[in-house]
Structure 1
Protein backbone atom coordinates (compact mmCIF):
# COMPACT_ATOMS: atom_id res chain seq x y z
CA UNK A 1 0.00 0.00 0.00
CA UNK A 2 1.52 3.39 -0.95
CA UNK A 3 2.14 5.70 2.05
CA UNK A 4 -0.47 8.14 0.75
CA UNK A 5 -3.10 5.39 0.93
CA UNK A 6 -2.29 4.51 4.54
CA UNK A 7 -4.81 6.34 6.79
CA UNK A 8 -2.47 6.40 9.78
CA UNK A 9 0.41 7.91 7.80
CA UNK A 10 -1.98 10.41 6.22
CA UNK A 11 -3.13 11.49 9.69
CA UNK A 12 0.49 11.99 10.78
CA UNK A 13 1.25 14.04 7.65
CA UNK A 14 -1.81 16.22 8.27
CA UNK A 15 -0.88 16.69 11.91
CA UNK A 16 2.67 17.72 10.96
CA UNK A 17 1.33 20.22 8.45
CA UNK A 18 -0.99 21.73 11.07
CA UNK A 19 1.94 21.97 13.49
CA UNK A 20 4.09 23.74 10.87
CA UNK A 21 1.27 26.14 10.03
CA UNK A 22 0.68 26.89 13.71
CA UNK A 23 4.40 27.50 14.32
CA UNK A 24 4.58 29.82 11.30
CA UNK A 25 1.59 31.79 12.61
CA UNK A 26 3.18 32.09 16.07
CA UNK A 27 6.57 33.14 14.68
CA UNK A 28 4.88 35.80 12.58
CA UNK A 29 3.64 37.68 15.64
CA UNK A 30 7.04 38.83 17.01
CA UNK A 31 8.13 39.89 13.52
CA UNK A 32 4.93 41.90 13.08
CA UNK A 33 5.39 43.81 16.35
CA UNK A 34 9.10 44.37 15.67
CA UNK A 35 8.29 45.61 12.17
CA UNK A 36 5.73 48.04 13.57
CA UNK A 37 8.25 49.48 16.01
CA UNK A 38 10.87 49.86 13.30
CA UNK A 39 8.35 51.59 11.03
CA UNK A 40 7.63 54.06 13.83
CA UNK A 41 11.36 54.69 14.23
CA UNK A 42 11.58 55.26 10.46
CA UNK A 43 8.95 57.98 10.76
CA UNK A 44 10.92 59.72 13.50
CA UNK A 45 14.09 59.55 11.43
CA UNK A 46 12.36 60.98 8.37
CA UNK A 47 11.31 63.92 10.54
CA UNK A 48 14.95 64.63 11.37
CA UNK A 49 15.58 62.48 14.45
CA UNK A 50 18.94 61.05 13.31
CA UNK A 51 19.67 59.31 16.60
CA UNK A 52 16.40 57.42 16.91
CA UNK A 53 17.80 54.01 15.90
CA UNK A 54 20.68 54.17 18.39
CA UNK A 55 18.43 55.49 21.16
CA UNK A 56 15.82 52.83 20.53
CA UNK A 57 18.36 50.02 20.34
CA UNK A 58 19.99 51.14 23.62
CA UNK A 59 16.63 51.31 25.40
CA UNK A 60 15.61 47.87 24.12
CA UNK A 61 18.98 46.49 25.25
CA UNK A 62 18.17 47.89 28.68
CA UNK A 63 14.79 46.17 28.60
CA UNK A 64 16.42 42.88 27.64
CA UNK A 65 19.01 43.25 30.38
CA UNK A 66 16.20 43.89 32.83
CA UNK A 67 14.53 40.65 31.74
CA UNK A 68 17.78 38.77 32.28
CA UNK A 69 18.60 40.25 35.68
CA UNK A 70 15.25 40.93 37.37
CA UNK A 71 13.31 37.92 38.64
CA UNK A 72 10.34 40.22 39.27
CA UNK A 73 10.26 41.37 35.65
CA UNK A 74 10.72 37.82 34.29
CA UNK A 75 7.76 36.66 36.38
CA UNK A 76 5.70 39.54 35.05
CA UNK A 77 6.58 38.60 31.47
CA UNK A 78 6.33 34.82 31.74
CA UNK A 79 3.28 34.31 33.98
CA UNK A 80 0.07 34.41 31.89
CA UNK A 81 -2.10 34.27 35.01
CA UNK A 82 -1.37 37.90 35.92
CA UNK A 83 -4.41 40.07 35.04
CA UNK A 84 -3.86 42.59 32.25
CA UNK A 85 -4.52 45.62 34.47
CA UNK A 86 -1.99 44.49 37.08
CA UNK A 87 0.49 43.57 34.35
CA UNK A 88 0.12 46.98 32.72
CA UNK A 89 0.60 48.88 35.98
CA UNK A 90 3.68 46.86 36.96
CA UNK A 91 5.25 46.94 33.49
CA UNK A 92 4.93 50.71 33.11
CA UNK A 93 6.20 51.26 36.65
CA UNK A 94 9.28 49.17 35.90
CA UNK A 95 9.76 50.99 32.58
CA UNK A 96 9.67 54.35 34.36
CA UNK A 97 12.07 53.19 37.07
CA UNK A 98 14.50 51.91 34.42
CA UNK A 99 14.34 55.21 32.52
CA UNK A 100 13.33 53.57 29.23
CA UNK A 101 12.84 55.73 26.15
CA UNK A 102 9.19 56.95 25.91
CA UNK A 103 8.77 55.13 22.60
CA UNK A 104 9.82 51.83 24.19
CA UNK A 105 7.60 52.52 27.21
CA UNK A 106 4.59 53.05 24.97
CA UNK A 107 5.49 50.00 22.89
CA UNK A 108 5.64 47.91 26.07
CA UNK A 109 2.16 49.18 26.93
CA UNK A 110 0.84 48.08 23.54
CA UNK A 111 2.30 44.60 23.98
CA UNK A 112 0.75 44.28 27.44
CA UNK A 113 -2.62 45.58 26.25
CA UNK A 114 -2.66 42.97 23.47
CA UNK A 115 -1.65 40.20 25.91
CA UNK A 116 1.61 39.53 24.06
CA UNK A 117 4.04 40.28 26.88
CA UNK A 118 5.12 36.63 27.05
CA UNK A 119 6.55 37.10 23.54
CA UNK A 120 8.74 40.03 24.61
CA UNK A 121 12.12 38.20 24.32
CA UNK A 122 11.23 37.01 20.80
CA UNK A 123 9.95 40.44 19.80
CA UNK A 124 13.23 41.99 20.96
CA UNK A 125 15.17 39.39 18.99
CA UNK A 126 13.11 40.06 15.86
CA UNK A 127 13.67 43.80 16.21
CA UNK A 128 17.43 43.34 16.58
CA UNK A 129 17.51 41.29 13.39
CA UNK A 130 15.46 43.86 11.45
CA UNK A 131 17.56 46.79 12.65
CA UNK A 132 20.83 44.96 11.95
CA UNK A 133 19.67 44.20 8.41
CA UNK A 134 18.72 47.85 7.94
CA UNK A 135 22.19 48.91 9.04
CA UNK A 136 24.06 46.19 7.17
CA UNK A 137 25.21 44.65 10.46
CA UNK A 138 25.32 41.13 11.85
CA UNK A 139 23.79 40.51 15.28
CA UNK A 140 25.53 38.01 17.51
CA UNK A 141 23.39 36.62 20.34
CA UNK A 142 25.76 35.95 23.24
CA UNK A 143 24.43 33.81 26.09
CA UNK A 144 26.37 33.76 29.36
CA UNK A 145 25.72 32.46 32.86
CA UNK A 146 26.30 35.94 34.30
CA UNK A 147 26.24 39.39 32.63
CA UNK A 148 29.40 40.18 30.65
CA UNK A 149 31.49 43.22 31.49
CA UNK A 150 32.07 45.81 28.78
CA UNK A 151 35.62 44.52 28.36
CA UNK A 152 34.40 40.92 27.93
CA UNK A 153 31.76 41.98 25.39
CA UNK A 154 34.40 43.86 23.38
CA UNK A 155 36.64 40.78 23.46
CA UNK A 156 33.82 38.62 22.07
CA UNK A 157 33.14 41.20 19.36
CA UNK A 158 36.83 41.31 18.42
CA UNK A 159 36.97 37.50 18.21
CA UNK A 160 33.99 37.43 15.86
CA UNK A 161 35.51 40.10 13.65
CA UNK A 162 38.74 38.07 13.45
CA UNK A 163 36.58 35.08 12.47
CA UNK A 164 35.34 37.00 9.44
CA UNK A 165 32.15 38.65 10.69
CA UNK A 166 32.11 42.34 9.80
CA UNK A 167 30.15 45.04 11.65
CA UNK A 168 29.08 42.76 14.49
CA UNK A 169 26.63 43.94 17.12
CA UNK A 170 26.51 42.03 20.41
CA UNK A 171 23.13 41.18 21.97
CA UNK A 172 23.62 39.71 25.43
CA UNK A 173 21.33 37.28 27.22
CA UNK A 174 21.84 35.75 30.66
CA UNK A 175 21.02 32.07 31.23
CA UNK A 176 22.40 30.68 34.52
CA UNK A 177 21.60 27.12 33.39
CA UNK A 178 24.63 27.04 31.04
CA UNK A 179 26.78 27.18 34.24
CA UNK A 180 29.68 29.03 32.60
CA UNK A 181 31.38 29.71 29.28
CA UNK A 182 29.49 31.19 26.33
CA UNK A 183 27.02 30.30 23.62
CA UNK A 184 27.31 32.58 20.58
CA UNK A 185 24.85 32.46 17.70
CA UNK A 186 25.45 34.60 14.63
CA UNK A 187 23.57 33.95 11.42
CA UNK A 188 23.48 30.18 10.85
CA UNK A 189 26.59 29.56 12.98
CA UNK A 190 26.60 28.45 16.60
CA UNK A 191 29.67 28.56 18.84
CA UNK A 192 29.01 26.65 22.06
CA UNK A 193 31.72 26.66 24.74
CA UNK A 194 29.33 26.46 27.69
CA UNK A 195 30.17 24.28 30.67
CA UNK A 196 26.77 22.63 30.31
CA UNK A 197 27.62 21.46 26.79
CA UNK A 198 31.07 20.28 27.88
CA UNK A 199 29.51 18.21 30.66
CA UNK A 200 26.98 16.77 28.21
CA UNK A 201 29.77 15.80 25.78
CA UNK A 202 31.76 14.26 28.64
CA UNK A 203 28.70 12.29 29.73
CA UNK A 204 28.16 10.98 26.20
CA UNK A 205 31.84 10.02 25.90
CA UNK A 206 31.70 8.12 29.18
CA UNK A 207 28.59 6.25 28.04
CA UNK A 208 30.35 5.32 24.80
CA UNK A 209 33.37 4.02 26.68
CA UNK A 210 31.28 1.94 29.09
Structure 2
Protein backbone atom coordinates (compact mmCIF):
# COMPACT_ATOMS: atom_id res chain seq x y z
CA UNK A 1 0.00 0.00 0.00
CA UNK A 2 1.08 3.51 -0.68
CA UNK A 3 2.46 5.48 2.20
CA UNK A 4 3.43 2.47 4.29
CA UNK A 5 6.55 4.27 5.51
CA UNK A 6 4.61 7.05 7.22
CA UNK A 7 3.10 6.48 10.65
CA UNK A 8 -0.42 7.07 9.29
CA UNK A 9 0.27 4.67 6.40
CA UNK A 10 1.30 1.88 8.77
CA UNK A 11 -1.63 2.61 11.07
CA UNK A 12 -4.11 2.68 8.18
CA UNK A 13 -2.65 -0.52 6.75
CA UNK A 14 -3.06 -2.37 10.07
CA UNK A 15 -6.66 -1.27 10.49
CA UNK A 16 -7.49 -2.03 6.83
CA UNK A 17 -5.96 -5.49 7.08
CA UNK A 18 -7.84 -6.21 10.30
CA UNK A 19 -11.14 -5.16 8.71
CA UNK A 20 -10.39 -7.23 5.62
CA UNK A 21 -9.74 -10.31 7.76
CA UNK A 22 -12.95 -9.76 9.76
CA UNK A 23 -15.00 -9.22 6.59
CA UNK A 24 -13.48 -12.34 5.03
CA UNK A 25 -14.37 -14.45 8.07
CA UNK A 26 -17.92 -13.05 8.08
CA UNK A 27 -18.23 -13.56 4.29
CA UNK A 28 -18.98 -9.84 3.88
CA UNK A 29 -16.05 -8.65 1.74
CA UNK A 30 -18.27 -7.07 -0.92
CA UNK A 31 -20.82 -5.62 1.52
CA UNK A 32 -18.07 -3.90 3.50
CA UNK A 33 -16.37 -2.72 0.28
CA UNK A 34 -19.65 -1.18 -0.91
CA UNK A 35 -20.15 0.50 2.47
CA UNK A 36 -16.62 1.89 2.41
CA UNK A 37 -17.01 3.23 -1.14
CA UNK A 38 -20.20 5.00 -0.05
CA UNK A 39 -18.51 6.40 3.05
CA UNK A 40 -15.55 7.56 0.96
CA UNK A 41 -17.98 9.42 -1.30
CA UNK A 42 -19.60 11.09 1.71
CA UNK A 43 -16.19 12.16 3.02
CA UNK A 44 -15.18 13.59 -0.37
CA UNK A 45 -18.47 15.52 -0.70
CA UNK A 46 -18.70 17.00 2.80
CA UNK A 47 -16.38 19.62 4.24
CA UNK A 48 -18.14 19.19 7.61
CA UNK A 49 -17.48 15.45 7.66
CA UNK A 50 -13.83 15.97 6.72
CA UNK A 51 -13.62 18.50 9.56
CA UNK A 52 -15.12 15.99 11.99
CA UNK A 53 -12.52 13.40 10.97
CA UNK A 54 -9.55 15.74 11.22
CA UNK A 55 -10.33 18.24 13.95
CA UNK A 56 -8.94 17.64 17.43
CA UNK A 57 -11.62 20.03 18.75
CA UNK A 58 -14.21 17.23 18.79
CA UNK A 59 -13.84 14.86 21.69
CA UNK A 60 -14.06 11.07 21.41
CA UNK A 61 -17.74 10.93 22.39
CA UNK A 62 -18.77 13.66 19.93
CA UNK A 63 -16.94 11.96 17.07
CA UNK A 64 -18.35 8.54 17.96
CA UNK A 65 -21.94 9.81 18.25
CA UNK A 66 -21.69 11.77 15.01
CA UNK A 67 -20.22 8.81 13.11
CA UNK A 68 -22.85 6.46 14.53
CA UNK A 69 -25.59 8.83 13.31
CA UNK A 70 -24.02 9.13 9.84
CA UNK A 71 -23.52 5.38 9.51
CA UNK A 72 -27.09 4.73 10.65
CA UNK A 73 -28.48 7.06 8.01
CA UNK A 74 -26.21 5.50 5.39
CA UNK A 75 -27.54 2.04 6.29
CA UNK A 76 -24.15 0.35 6.43
CA UNK A 77 -23.59 -3.25 7.46
CA UNK A 78 -23.11 -3.83 11.19
CA UNK A 79 -19.50 -4.94 10.68
CA UNK A 80 -18.66 -1.68 8.90
CA UNK A 81 -20.47 0.31 11.59
CA UNK A 82 -18.65 -1.41 14.45
CA UNK A 83 -15.30 -0.97 12.69
CA UNK A 84 -15.76 2.78 12.15
CA UNK A 85 -16.96 3.24 15.72
CA UNK A 86 -13.85 1.45 17.04
CA UNK A 87 -11.75 3.77 14.86
CA UNK A 88 -13.62 6.75 16.37
CA UNK A 89 -13.25 5.47 19.94
CA UNK A 90 -9.52 5.02 19.35
CA UNK A 91 -9.29 8.62 18.05
CA UNK A 92 -8.08 7.45 14.63
CA UNK A 93 -10.75 9.01 12.40
CA UNK A 94 -8.10 11.23 10.80
CA UNK A 95 -6.76 8.06 9.12
CA UNK A 96 -10.17 6.67 8.04
CA UNK A 97 -9.86 7.73 4.36
CA UNK A 98 -6.48 5.94 4.15
CA UNK A 99 -7.99 2.89 5.88
CA UNK A 100 -10.78 2.81 3.31
CA UNK A 101 -8.30 3.08 0.42
CA UNK A 102 -6.12 0.40 2.02
CA UNK A 103 -9.05 -2.01 2.37
CA UNK A 104 -10.20 -1.50 -1.22
CA UNK A 105 -6.67 -1.76 -2.64
CA UNK A 106 -5.84 -4.91 -0.69
CA UNK A 107 -9.16 -6.53 -1.62
CA UNK A 108 -8.49 -5.80 -5.30
CA UNK A 109 -4.91 -7.09 -5.00
CA UNK A 110 -6.06 -10.35 -3.38
CA UNK A 111 -8.60 -10.84 -6.16
CA UNK A 112 -6.08 -10.10 -8.89
CA UNK A 113 -8.05 -7.08 -10.07
CA UNK A 114 -6.47 -4.22 -11.96
CA UNK A 115 -7.58 -0.62 -11.49
CA UNK A 116 -7.24 1.96 -14.24
CA UNK A 117 -7.43 5.57 -13.04
CA UNK A 118 -8.83 7.63 -15.90
CA UNK A 119 -8.99 11.42 -15.94
CA UNK A 120 -11.05 12.97 -18.71
CA UNK A 121 -11.66 16.58 -19.71
CA UNK A 122 -15.42 15.97 -19.52
CA UNK A 123 -17.84 13.29 -18.39
CA UNK A 124 -17.95 10.35 -20.78
CA UNK A 125 -21.23 8.91 -22.06
CA UNK A 126 -22.10 5.18 -21.84
CA UNK A 127 -20.79 4.34 -25.32
CA UNK A 128 -17.49 6.11 -24.68
CA UNK A 129 -17.12 4.33 -21.33
CA UNK A 130 -17.81 0.97 -22.98
CA UNK A 131 -15.20 1.63 -25.68
CA UNK A 132 -12.69 2.78 -23.06
CA UNK A 133 -13.39 -0.31 -20.90
CA UNK A 134 -12.79 -2.61 -23.88
CA UNK A 135 -9.53 -0.85 -24.81
CA UNK A 136 -8.17 -0.98 -21.25
CA UNK A 137 -9.23 -4.62 -20.79
CA UNK A 138 -7.35 -5.49 -23.99
CA UNK A 139 -4.19 -3.70 -22.81
CA UNK A 140 -4.16 -5.28 -19.33
CA UNK A 141 -5.14 -8.71 -20.61
CA UNK A 142 -8.18 -9.05 -18.36
CA UNK A 143 -10.98 -7.17 -16.68
CA UNK A 144 -9.96 -3.78 -15.30
CA UNK A 145 -11.94 -1.59 -12.94
CA UNK A 146 -12.10 2.02 -14.09
CA UNK A 147 -12.00 4.91 -11.63
CA UNK A 148 -13.18 8.00 -13.49
CA UNK A 149 -12.36 11.58 -12.66
CA UNK A 150 -13.15 14.76 -14.60
CA UNK A 151 -10.59 17.57 -14.92
CA UNK A 152 -11.57 20.35 -17.35
CA UNK A 153 -7.97 21.64 -17.25
CA UNK A 154 -7.03 18.78 -19.62
CA UNK A 155 -8.90 20.69 -22.38
CA UNK A 156 -9.68 17.41 -24.18
CA UNK A 157 -8.67 13.76 -24.30
CA UNK A 158 -7.76 11.39 -21.47
CA UNK A 159 -5.00 10.50 -19.04
CA UNK A 160 -4.99 6.79 -18.15
CA UNK A 161 -2.94 5.28 -15.32
CA UNK A 162 -2.68 1.53 -14.82
CA UNK A 163 -0.20 0.64 -12.11
CA UNK A 164 3.02 2.49 -12.87
CA UNK A 165 2.13 3.03 -16.55
CA UNK A 166 0.60 6.30 -17.71
CA UNK A 167 -0.77 7.24 -21.10
CA UNK A 168 -1.36 10.97 -21.52
CA UNK A 169 -3.60 11.58 -24.51
CA UNK A 170 -4.88 14.92 -23.24
CA UNK A 171 -4.69 18.13 -25.24
CA UNK A 172 -2.95 19.78 -22.28
CA UNK A 173 -0.31 17.02 -22.24
CA UNK A 174 0.29 17.37 -25.96
CA UNK A 175 0.63 21.14 -25.63
CA UNK A 176 3.07 20.71 -22.74
CA UNK A 177 5.19 18.28 -24.79
CA UNK A 178 5.11 20.63 -27.78
CA UNK A 179 6.25 23.53 -25.58
CA UNK A 180 9.18 21.46 -24.25
CA UNK A 181 10.13 20.45 -27.79
CA UNK A 182 10.00 24.05 -28.97
CA UNK A 183 12.24 25.19 -26.11
CA UNK A 184 14.78 22.53 -27.07
CA UNK A 185 14.82 23.76 -30.68
CA UNK A 186 15.80 27.32 -29.73
TM above 0.5, yes or no, is yes
Return the alpha-carbon distance in structure 1 between the equivalents of residues 122 and 144 of structure 2.
Answer: 21
Structure 1 residues 1-210: aligned runs within 5 Å: 23-45=5-27, 52-142=28-118, 156-164=132-140, 166-171=142-147, 178-179=151-152, 184-191=160-167, 201=176, 208=183
Q: TM (normalized to structure 2)?
A: 0.73
> What do the CA deviations read for 1:132-188 (whole angstroms, capped 9, x no partner)?
12212123345679998887765654442133252323456x6x8x44556654322
The alpha carbon displacement at 1:23 in A equals: 3.6
Asked whether the 8 Å contact 2:108–2:114 carries over to 1, the reply is yes
The alpha carbon displacement at 1:120 in A equals: 1.6
The alpha carbon displacement at 1:88 in A equals: 1.3
Asked whether the 8 Å contact 1:128–1:139 carries over to 2, the reply is no
Whose radius of gyration is greater, 1 or 2?
1
The alpha carbon displacement at 1:80 in A equals: 3.3
Q: Secondary structure at the match of 1:140?
A: strand
Superposition RMSD in Å: 3.6
Aligned to 1:6: none
- Structure 1: state its 5+ residue gaps: 1-21, 46-51
Summarize the Cα distance change of 1:33–1:94 in structure 2 as closer, same or farther, 3 Å threshold: same
Summarize the Cα distance change of 1:156–1:72 in structure 2 as closer, same or farther, 3 Å threshold: farther
Q: Secondary structure at the match of 1:169?
A: strand
The alpha carbon displacement at 1:34 in A equals: 0.7
Return the alpha-carbon distance in structure 1 between the equivalents of residues 168 and 56 of structure 2.
Answer: 32
Return the alpha-carbon distance in structure 2 between the equivalents of residues 193 and 102 of structure 1.
Answer: 44
Return the alpha-carbon distance in structure 2 between the equivalents of residues 129 and 193 of structure 1.
Answer: 26
Aligned residues: 179
Asked whether the 8 Å contact 1:80–1:118 carries over to 2, the reply is no
> What do the CA deviations read for 1:65-92 (whole angstroms, capped 9, x no partner)?
1112223222222333322221111111
Q: TM (normalized to structure 1)?
A: 0.65
